[in-house]
Structure 1
């Protein structure tokens, strides 16, 4: 089971966090501080697995972001690397060559993609087409809601004149 997911920039800024195990806010801050220090200082030729507090942290760097997932000790590291790559491929397909700014300004969409892939720390959807279809449906719902809100606000504005 995946305990948590972190996306950290090369400068140590947290871009996305998703916690599947209960951590207090103080513990979360400490975990982020510790792991960003460990991962950012590792050389590029070292392996992408780190033993940490009796758990395994699997990470992969894509451009200026480190995608990190903390798993149980007995989980398969290569499977977690594949989950990270799967997540990045879907983000890449959705945003069209995803970059750090896409995640900063559209973090809610990145969370939605992650929620479609992982539920309670377990892989739920491995099909990129299915995830893309679900995201497109969500985007159309959001657009419909915006249009309805806009038309309602126009009606209210006309009624109050």
Structure 2
């Protein structure tokens, strides 16, 4: 099961966070800081899977952004690694070459995309067209 998804930049600033396991607000900032520190301190030639406390971290770097997913021990790390890549490809398709600014100024749309892919910590959709269908419909309504 997926516990959380974080998107952070190289400076360690969180750009997106979605928790599927309840975490108190007072504990989120220290958790995110510790997770980011753990992933950013690793070298490029090291594995993208990290044991962290009672779960695993799967992370991937795209330009200046890191996407970090916290998963339980029973989750397949390679499938999550590919899920992260699929998420970025969907963002690229929607924003046509997504950037950190796209994420910052369209956070609601990024959350819609993430919610179409993952619900309650379980991957429910990977097809790009189906993931983007609700946003395409919203965009058509706004233009019409």
- TM value normalised by structure 1: 0.86
Shift of 1:138: 2.5
Alignment of 1:67-106 (within 5 A): 67-106=67-106
Shift of 1:48: 0.3
RMSD between aligned residues: 1.2
Q: Which residue of 1 aligns with 2:41?
A: 41
Q: Distance in 1 between matches of 2:40 and 2:115?
A: 26
Q: Which residue of 2 aligns with 1:58?
A: 58
Alignment of 1:19-30 (within 5 A): 19-30=19-30
Alignment of 1:2-13 (within 5 A): 2-13=2-13
Unaligned runs of 5+ in 1: 148-161
Q: Distance in 1 between matches of 2:2 and 2:111?
A: 15
Higher helix share: 1
How many residues align? The count is 144
Unaligned runs of 5+ in 2: none
State which structure, 1 or 2, has the greater radius of gyration over its C-alpha atoms. 1
Deviating above 4 A after TM superposition, structure 1's stretches of 4 or more consecutive aligned residues are none
CA offset digits 1:30-53 (Å, max 9, x no partner): 110101111111111101001001
Shift of 1:140: 2.8
